[in-house]
Amino acid sequence: MVNDNLTDWQRMQLAQLEYNDWQVNDDVLLPDGIMIGTVIKVINTNDGFRATIIKSGPHELTLLFRGSSGVRHGDPTTWTNEWLRVNLPVGDAILNQVPEVPGEMWTAVNHLNELLEQNPGRKVFIYGHSLGSINAQFALANCRYPQQIQRAYLYEGPNIYWLLDNQQRKIVLQLRTKIFNYIDPLDVIALGYLDRQHTIGLLQVVDSIMSNPVNQHMWGGYQFDNQQRLKILPEGILSRRAIIDQRLLQHAAQFKGER
């Protein structure tokens, strides 16, 4: 399979392609010329959900969940469709431990399950960054066909594990070894990762370098070795960011109790 042969560096490049404005029948190539496949469907719904489906082989599909357009590439709908409707409510829900899920996340669930149902003989690889990671995490937690998920590579999204019910947590536990959840501890968006157990997938804490906040969120702190392998912190290290998040959750709980 095409995705099986990619390096960490190439997977990051592929995830970055989720921000391109693809059209059906476009060929998807990495900057080094590696062919990922051909676009077979572009999804752009009224609630702001965006994704691209790529046919990467006779038995392989690649699904790119698009993240937030952001300050640099956004338009007037960026704040309404992406930040106000999804990113900010999810952040608030995580801090206050209130499982309120925006509609766009349920749209992601429906499109993933529809794709799997319509392609029973194909394995699916999933990529998502930021808002794309949020939608991918929730879609996977509600996946009706987990056996068709080959792997998922998620980057710089907050930890929505805290928003899941018991049944959803059972599904992500079943998929745990198939999901690689990358976070830069210096990225303020990657909120809510207190340990490596209460997460969606296998948490990969990046051994990052400092950059400006926007660049940090856009993979700017990632480091790779000469084999294009991403530098990851040892599992035994509790990141400074986890300590900060723990304090934020404690303060939020205390504030909630005082109101």
Would you say residue 234 has pLDDT above 90?
A: no
pLDDT digits (tens, 9 = 90+) for 222-233: 999 999 999 999
- The gap between the terminal CA atoms of the chain, to the nearest Å, is 54
Query: What mean pLDDT do residues 197-224 have?
Result: 93
What is the rounded distance in angstroms from the CA atom of residue 143 to the CA atom of residue 120?
A: 13
pLDDT at 256: 44
pLDDT digits (tens, 9 = 90+) for 39-97: 999 999 998 899 999 999 999 999 999 987 654 454 445 444 444 444 555 655 555 55
pLDDT digits (tens, 9 = 90+) for 144-177: 999 999 999 999 998 999 889 999 999 999 999 9
What is the rounded distance in angstroms from the CA atom of residue 156 to the CA atom of residue 168?
A: 21
pLDDT digits (tens, 9 = 90+) for 94-122: 555 556 788 899 999 999 999 999 999 99
pLDDT at 101: 80
Q: What is the pTM of this model?
A: 0.87
pLDDT at 170: 97
pLDDT at 73: 52
To the question of domain 3-258 being in CATH 3.90.930, the answer is: no
What is the rounded distance in angstroms from the CA atom of residue 250 to the CA atom of residue 244?
A: 10
Q: Give Cα separations from 257 to 138, 250, 254 (angstroms).
A: 28, 11, 5
DSSP 143-182: -S-GGGEEEEEEES---GGGG--HHHHHHHHHTGGGEEEE
**Taken in order 126, 130, 133, 138, is the CA torsion positive or negative?**
negative
pLDDT digits (tens, 9 = 90+) for 8-45: 999 999 999 999 999 999 999 999 999 999 999 999 99
Q: List the domain boundaries for the chain.
A: 3-258
